[in-house]
Amino acid sequence: MIISGDKKFIAAPFDNENEIEKVVLDYSEFIFGPETIMLPKSLIKSADGSGTIPDGYVIDFGSYCWFIVEAELGSHSVWGHIAPQVSKQVVAAIQPTSRRLIVDSAIDMIRDSKPLGNLIDGLGIQLIDVGRVLGEIIESPPIIAIPIDEASQDLEEWAQTLKNEVRLWTVRKLVDLEDANSIIYEIPDEYHPMLDIKESGEIRGKGLYNISLLDLLDNKLLEAGMELSMEYAPRGGVRKTYTAKVTEDGYLSADGRRLSASNAALYFINQAGSLRKSVNGWTSWKTRDGRSLDGLRDFLIGMGSEQ
């Protein structure tokens, strides 16, 4: 339950699969990350001409990877619905004609959208090079992205058998107890899936994505009062350096406001005039010796694997 004043929001089932699909499409950058674009669903075909329609495709320019997106309801059968559907989508998506369709659709979206053009420009990619970059990304094996309201054990165990990496995001629907038309949706913080299953079957999500700034503090990788910095330049503007201090309870103090790493980064770039709605603070903020929070998190994971 989530309480706001007199309002009480309680967990509720999605009306249908279309509802969760729309949530994923509308808020894709908050699920998959600020350096991604999501292409809407389109028909692709396997080598023998059998057609299938995933719920979308996501290109992640920051991590140089791409996703086949299949939003699902936990009530659907893994073996009778999810598994055969995803398997067919993977086979169809790796066909040369499908890859070309995805690249062309992404190029059209970027050319027609000023915010996406700004994103590409901010990543240092020239518009003339977009097609080449997309082609390189799309040549890698697709990651299977499954936003779902509830993941079953069968789903997790099936995902461990696949050759492709699988990431699961939990998306929840909550409804005002007094007004069924007042609806909010809950998605994971910091663009993290609740589960990341590598091609080897290794499950990383339950440890990797639960690491917080407080964990970095507890393991002496950060210190309370330590100053972090990030650089940002709005399109056509002057590059500036912004600073924030680590608080003892695992937040960043930005202009006196206690914020998460990503919200602190977003606060400053919005102050600089950017209209972006999201930014990855874990890759933006760096220590005085140039180490990112993301790099410190990876180091902490490595420490744990050696024990």
The continuous run of DSSP H or E covering 208 comes out as: helix 205-208
pLDDT for the residue numbered 55: 96
pLDDT for the residue numbered 260: 92
Model pLDDT for residues 171-181, shown as the tens digit of each residue: 999 999 999 99
Domain chopping of the chain, boundaries: 2-206, 213-302
pTM of the model as a whole = 0.83
| Beta-bridge partner residues of 286 | 229, 292
With bands split at pLDDT 50, 70 and 90, how would you rate the model's confidence at 195? Answer: confident
- CA distance linking residue 38 with residue 106, whole number of Å: 8
- CA distance linking residue 211 with residue 197, whole number of Å: 17
Model pLDDT for residues 229-259, shown as the tens digit of each residue: 999 887 777 889 999 999 999 999 999 999 9
Residue 207 has pLDDT above 60, yes or no: no
Tell me how far CA of residue 263 lies from CA of 7, 170, 277, 292, in angstroms: 25, 21, 10, 16
> What percent of the chain has a predicted confidence (pLDDT) above 70?
95
> What percent of the chain has a predicted confidence (pLDDT) above 90?
70
Cβ–Cβ < 8 Å for 252, 274 = no
Count of positions (residues) in the chain:
307
Model pLDDT for residues 99-135, shown as the tens digit of each residue: 999 999 999 999 998 888 888 887 888 889 999 999 9
Segment among 43-57, 66-80, 201-215, 239-253 with least mean pLDDT? 201-215
The 3-state DSSP class for residue 224 equals coil
pLDDT for the residue numbered 289: 94
C-alpha count within 13 angstroms, C-beta hemisphere, residue 298: 7
